[in-house]
Amino acid sequence: MMGYQLRKATVDDIDGIMKVELQSFSLPWSREAFFNEFVKNHFAVYFVIEDRNKIIGYCGVWLVVDEAHITNIAILPEYRGQKLGELLLRSMMEFSIESGAKSMTLEVRVSNLIAQSLYKKLGFFEGGIRKNYYTDNQEDALVMWVNL
Ligand SMILES: CC(C)(COP(=O)(O)OP(=O)(O)OC[C@H]1O[C@@H](n2cnc3c(N)ncnc32)[C@H](O)[C@@H]1OP(=O)(O)O)[C@@H](O)C(=O)NCCC(=O)NCCS
């Protein structure tokens, strides 16, 4: 990760996170949703990766008792394929273990084979399917989990 910095995010990072969000998802979270995550949701922790103070990726987790739930992970398109997503998720897994989590779960679109490949590489298994989970196209979500 030459020249890149990984750190915990704060509410001041929302502008940068929104740039990643809007370029990464067909159903992006709103600015208000992120604001609530930082200000009201005491279970939520976000990490960002920066390239010279520009946010190029982020990952969020909800830490509830001994379970960690990944809310989202995304890298700016022009920075993909450099193992930064893997670095972010590995860092989030380590942080979750240190915070007492015993397992980690997430949902991913059944069509998102790239993200599924990342999760499988890091030891995630396929759990169940949540039917019609995504409201833009009624796509199913694959639930994935890993013991930490
Ligand atoms: C998923 C995402 C975060 C991966 O980030 P990335 O930095 O590009 O991925 P990495 O370079 O760290 O790759 C790690 C692993 O992911 C998988 N992967 C990444 N890009 C891939 C591609 N183009 N094709 C297939 N697998 C790919 C591979 O398993 C790869 O490991 P490998 O290089 O040893 O084969 C990124 O593609 C992204 O932001 N996508 C849009 C948002 C999204 O779909 N997020 C997930 C929502 S659940």
Directed axis angle between helix 113-121 and helix 84-98, to 10°? 50
Domain 4-147, CATH class in plain words: alpha beta
CA of 40 to the centre of ligand 1 (A): 30
pLDDT for the residue numbered 6: 97
Q: What percent of the chain has pLDDT over 70?
A: 99
- Tell me: the pLDDT tens digits for 107-139? 999 999 999 999 999 999 999 999 999 999 999
> Has residue 40 got a pLDDT over 70?
yes
Average pLDDT value for the chain: 97
CB-count exposure of residue 6 (10 Å: 0-12, 13-18, 19+): middle
- At residue 2, the pLDDT reads 65
Quick one: pLDDT at residue 27? 93
CA angle 84, 88, 93 (to 5 degrees): 145
Predicted confidence (pLDDT) at residue 98 exceeds the cutoff of 90 = yes
Domain layout of the chain by residue ranges:
4-147
Please compute the mean of the pLDDT values over residues 9-26 and round it to a whole number. Answer: 98
Which one is catalytic: 4, 79, 86, 107?
107
> Is the Cβ atom of 123 under 6 angstroms away from ligand 1?
no
Q: Percentage of the chain surpassing pLDDT 90?
A: 98
Give the 3-state secondary structure of the chain. Answer: CCCEEEEECCHHHHHHHHHHHHHHCCCCCCHHHHHHHHHCCCCEEEEEEEECCEEEEEEEEEEECCEEEEEEEEECHHHCCCCHHHHHHHHHHHHHHHCCCCEEEEEEECCCHHHHHHHHHCCCEEEEEECCCCCCCCCCEEEEEEEC
Q: Give the helix/strand (H/E) hosting 27.
A: none
Residue 1 predicted with pLDDT over 60: no
Say which of 21, 58, 119, 139 is annotated catalytic: 119
Structural contact between residues 112 and 85, judged by C-beta atoms closer than 8 angstroms? no
Look-up of token digits 């509410």: 11
State yes or no: is 79 an active-site residue: no
* Global pTM exceeds 0.75: yes
Neighbours of 142 (CB within 10 A): 22
pLDDT value, residue 120:
98
